[in-house]
A and B are shown apart, each in its own frame.
Chain A
Amino acid sequence: MTKSKSTAEESTEAEAPEGGTTEPVSEEKVSDGMDYEARVIEPVEEPEPSETDDAPVEIPEGHVLIRYVGPADAFDHKAYQFRGDKPVAVPSEVAEELLTYPFERFERV
């Protein structure tokens, strides 16, 4: 704690230790006045995998994975919704329709 030298210069801010000290510095140790304590950092447990949009797409029998690579943000074909580049499992006959769809672009994954 230090005292302000002029009453006209009293600061309204919280007092903070200034650089240097009025106490003689020991030649044996130099301390910045802070207390440190050793901490053991526990290893972080990996979270259990949960069902998310990044989960692998399950492919039922007779289906193939198709990805929309056209310019639209979203493409809907019958009951199938293509959003971004997320692949969708569709029946083989539907895949043939999509792969030959005019003016849009699909690819097999």
Chain B
Amino acid sequence: MATPNVQNIKIGQGEIWVGGTAPTAGSDPTDPTAGTPSDINAAADSSFSAPTSGGTYVGFTNGPANLLYRPTFYMVETEQAFAEVAVVPTGEEASLSFTAQEITYVNIKSAFGQATTRVVSGPPAFNAVYVGSKPVVSTAVVTLISRKTNLVGYFIATLYQGYSFNGATIGFERRAEVKLATELRCLADLTRPQGDQLFQIVDYPANPT
């Protein structure tokens, strides 16, 4: 009888970083594992303070961080079989959605998407976010690290080109904190091999040393 492994049951939040540099793509344009395989992202140190891809930590979040992937297929149906007899992938979508509770200019820009940020050291010091008629879509590397339930090992997901798909609403309220609901959707990175153009997930069985 097969033995299930309770260590594989995953409970725990995800820590998110926005920005940085994506891991280097593989050398074979048709296979991410062939030639010089695509680099994998990792936690930079044993304290899980940042991924090696870098970026800015999102901070406190509320609710689950959802990594969504959904492919679309064209299915060939025949009279001779009840189910489809052939399928061809025709599309796909991927996104990471989360709700940030730290209202920083970086998180505001991540949520809004079409925004430009400026920091001035002052005096007076301020952080500005400019929005409106920005013609260029800016993308960012988005990384999620989630430690395993027994704190030995972790998962790390890296989206290569995330952009804010839905914009955001900032609600100022007397009775509750501001929550920035953010959805970062993947743009296909055509410089990367086929099969590795949206994101990668890496399962590390051990913690970084």
Q: Interface on A for B, CB 8 Å cutoff?
A: 70-78, 101, 104
A72 contacts B121, CB within 8 Å? Answer: no
Q: Is the interface of B mostly helix, strand, loop or mixed?
A: strand
Q: What is the CA–CA distance of A76 and B116 in the complex, to the nearest angstrom?
A: 14
Nearest-Cβ distance from residue A84 to partner chain B, whole angstroms? 12
Complex interface: chain A residues within 8 A of B106 (CB): 71-72
Q: What is the CA–CA distance of A72 and B121 in the complex, to the nearest angstrom?
A: 12
Number of interface residues of B (CB under 8 A): 13
Number of residue pairs spanning A and B whose beta carbons lie under 8 angstroms apart: 34
A73 contacts B121, CB within 8 Å? Answer: no
Digit string of B117-152 for contact with A (CB within 8 Å is 1, else 0)?
A: 111110000010000000000000000000000000
Nearest-Cβ distance from residue A106 to partner chain B, whole angstroms? 11
A-B pairs with the 7 shortest C-beta distances? A74-B118, A77-B121, A72-B119, A72-B117, A71-B56, A76-B120, A71-B106
Nearest-Cβ distance from residue A73 to partner chain B, whole angstroms? 5
* Between-chain CB contacts (< 8 Å), 11 pairs: A70-B119, A71-B56, A71-B117, A72-B127, A73-B118, A75-B120, A75-B121, A76-B118, A76-B119, A101-B121, A104-B119
Q: Does B105 contact A (CB under 8 A)?
A: yes
Q: Which among B18, B55, B116 is the interface contact of A74 at CB below 8 angstroms?
A: B116
Nearest-Cβ distance from residue B84 to partner chain A, whole angstroms? 42
- Interface centre among B18, B117, B119, by most chain A C-beta atoms within 10 angstroms, is B119
